[in-house]
Amino acid sequence: MAFVITQPCQGEQAGECVEVCPVDCIEKGEDQYYINPDICIDCGACVSVCPVDAIVEEYEMTPEQEPFLEKAEKFFGNV
């Protein structure tokens, strides 16, 4: 997984990321959007349009953001 959607999305859920994704790998969950790591091509288009900077690269995540990686893995059944 290259990109992870984190906590700021929970309050915003703007959805610009879905519109710009060239491979349709972003899906809306109950409380936020999630990026499917099996489909994502790591283009970064979603990062530049997120109005709340909720999308981070996995290797740049802080310890506080790591639960959002786990949430995404569970959402797509990768756990």
What is the per-residue pLDDT across 18-38, written as a single tens digit (0 to 9) for each? 999 999 999 999 999 999 988
pLDDT at 78 over 80: no
Task: Provide long-range contacts, Cβ within 8 A and 24+ apart, for 18-26.
Answer: 19/49, 20/45, 20/46, 20/48, 20/49, 21/45, 21/46
CATH number for 3-75: choose from 2.60.40.420, 3.30.70.20, 3.30.1510.10, 3.40.190.10: 3.30.70.20
Instruction: Determine the average pLDDT of the residues in 41-60.
Output: 95
CA separation for the pair 7, 45 (Å, rounded): 19
Instruction: Determine the average pLDDT of the residues in 31-59.
Output: 95
